Amino acid sequence: MSNFILEITDLNQQGQGVGRLDGQVVFVEGAIPGDAVRVDILSRARHYAVATVAELLRPSPDRVTPFCPVAERCGGCALQPMAYPAQLAHKRRHVVELLQRIGRLPEADALVRPVLGMAEPFAYRCKIQFPIRGTVDQPEIGFYARRSHDVVDSTTCAVGHPVGDRVRAVIRRYIQQFKVRPYDEATHSGSLRHLVVRVGHSTGQVMVMLVSRTNDLPGRDWLKAELTHAIATSVPGPACPAYPASLVPSGLAARSASGSDAVEYALTTLVLNLQPARTNVILGRQTETWYGPGWIEDRLLGLTFRISPLSFFQVNPRQTEVLYQLAIDRLALKPGETCLDLYCGTGTIALALARSVQDQLAASDTQAHDQPIRVTGVESVAPAIADARINAAQNGLEAVEFVVAEAETWLPDAVARGAIHPTAAVIDPPRRGCDDALLATLTQIQLERLVYVSCNPATLARDLERLSAAYSVVSVQPVDLFPWTDSVECVCLLVRREIKQ
């Protein structure tokens, strides 16, 4: 290993520090902008090198002590050495740079607004996925190490909902008491692969899901009883005493009006998911309910949503309300318009839009049932659409319909058949972004407004470059759904070029 001194000037998309050595880019694990470090080069490629910090010579003014004892090894929170305000500033710069370089938007700096962060960036994850490894006597339940499938065992996580820590303590005892073998990835043997915990932030309902290679797990009654007791006696709270309050500025984002720290938590459902395949995909297709209805409910934006084991639902409810309200406000849907919600999941945005239309119809003394369907949600995961339809019924929303289909297949076909004539749309694709066929159709149909909700600014930038043939970007609002990580969400408003104000 060679020893060199570097000045760190940036972060890459994986949260690694970026420096230069003789003109070559060097990615340094654990370094942040402003650090001066002595590094050991681990590997070299043609255009870059990878290094590790051998000595911190001069810390960045933004460097802080990580609040998690396993932060240096755990792959969950790469930005813990960086003060939270500096993280938000970095994420905005990152979005601007990608929009300029990939999206070919030279005006990006004027379009991208300051990132909306959290006033209390702790205990926000209400869905937690713990990989399980180790042995019967010493199970490992934590998170993967950075760029590895080695599990970093731990007992607490300050960014996860505290109910998750209570649950994993029970699962640790369960493995030891009933001699349940953790999964061995190398030999594809053992049983328990993952523990998934979903918490209703506003309802207190808790889903515990065991992901197993086999379905012969013992001790169901014991497990239900222990989980029930542990969850009912937990006392969650968002604060992290180990982190200086002075480094978490107030007023970064309003707390959710529907959330409450006084919620009573209870085990609502316990399920087993079978994943017998030799794969990195966490969940299998078969789920067996051991206790409860097989789902939980939570509330967002005044609406109640059913969440099934395989359904997508944002993991940070407090910031999700900020994110989705931005999308609704940007879209500004009016009665008489038709709107698409592509990649709609359990229908959160579609239902909030439908309520907006329904409220406007009621205010204008027009009966909702006399109007045609105004919002169409499209999602490829059938259980999510089943939940969406139930969610529409239990919230009394009629101005909405849901379709089980791949958005990139359904939209071109529906347009070709003349089956739809939307005036507005919202798209919330996975990290890979939008399919070429979908982007081509979006440029062809006569949408007045398009809101793109993105969890990956790189693919957002790529897709905006393609959409620029028909649309102008009006604004980009980043939202920090995952503090202490390199991730950032964006709500982008586009309008047809010929109608731009």
- Catalytic: which of 68, 455, 490, 492? 455
SS3 29: strand
Element (H, E) at 48: strand 48-58
Q: Which DSSP string do the residues of 387-443 spell out, in sequence order?
A: HHHHHHHHTT--SEEEEES-HHHHHHHHHHTT----SEEEE---TT---HHHHHHHH
Q: Which DSSP string do the residues of 250-282 spell out, in sequence order?
A: TTSSPPPTT--TTPPPEEEEEEEEE--SSSS--
Q: Each residue of 114-142: b (16+ CB within 10 Å) or e?
A: ebbbbebbbbbbbbbbbbbbbeeeebbbb
Going by C-alpha positions, the residue among 452, 419, 448, 449 that lies closest to residue 438 is 452
Q: Please check whether residue 37 is in contact with residue 31, taking contact to mean a CB–CB distance below 8 angstroms.
A: yes
Q: Please check whether residue 163 is in contact with residue 127, taking contact to mean a CB–CB distance below 8 angstroms.
A: no
Rounded CA gap, 183 and 192, in Å? 5
Check if 455 is active-site: yes
Cβ within 8 Å of residue 416, ≥6 positions away? none
Rounded CA gap, 85 and 82, in Å? 8
**């393609």: which residue's tokens?**
466
Catalytic residues: 455
